[in-house]
Structure formats: structure tokens, C-alpha cells
């Protein structure tokens, strides 16, 4: 299940989105899955699959890409 998320935290580096530019994070995210939950900043369990990826936050559930 893919959901739209209110992004408070960067899903790659885990820092606040408002803290500064995340251009490098955005470029890296084009090629790799998220590592942090954008809603709560928890580190997610990530599995890379042949057809994409799945990331699970214990609080907010799974996202796929």
C-alpha cells in the first residue's frame, strides 16, 4: 500500500525537512529506497525486491515503490 505522507522529516537522512536543502537526498532517492519514516523519523526496515522496494515503519506501516 502506498500512501501520501506529510513530510516532516527527510526520508533519506532523517533530518527535518525545514532544516535546509535536501537536494542531495532527493537525487539519491531517485535510485534508492527511503531509510527513515517521513512522519516520525523512525528508521525503517527496508527490503529491496526485483520489482521495487518495500519499507516498513513500526508506527505507520508499509510503503512500496
| Percentage of the chain exceeding pLDDT 90 | 75
Q: What is the pTM of this model?
A: 0.81
In terms of Cβ atoms closer than 10 Å to its own Cβ (0-12, 13-18, 19+), residue 1 is exposed
Torsions phi, psi of 61, nearest 5?
A: 90, -160
Q: What is the pLDDT of residues 46-65, one digit of tens each?
A: 999 999 999 999 999 999 99
Amino acid at each position: 500500500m502506498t500512501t501520501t505522507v506529510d513530510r516532516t522529516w527527510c526520508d533519506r537522512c532523517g533530518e527535518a525537512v525545514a532544516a535546509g536543502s535536501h537536494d542531495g537526498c532527493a537525487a539519491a532517492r531517485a535510485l534508492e529506497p527511503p531509510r527513515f519514516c517521513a512522519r516520525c523519523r523512525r528508521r525503517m526496515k527496508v527490503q529491496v525486491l526485483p520489482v521495487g522496494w518495500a519499507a516498513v515503519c513500526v508506527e505507520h506501516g508499509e510503503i512500496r515503490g
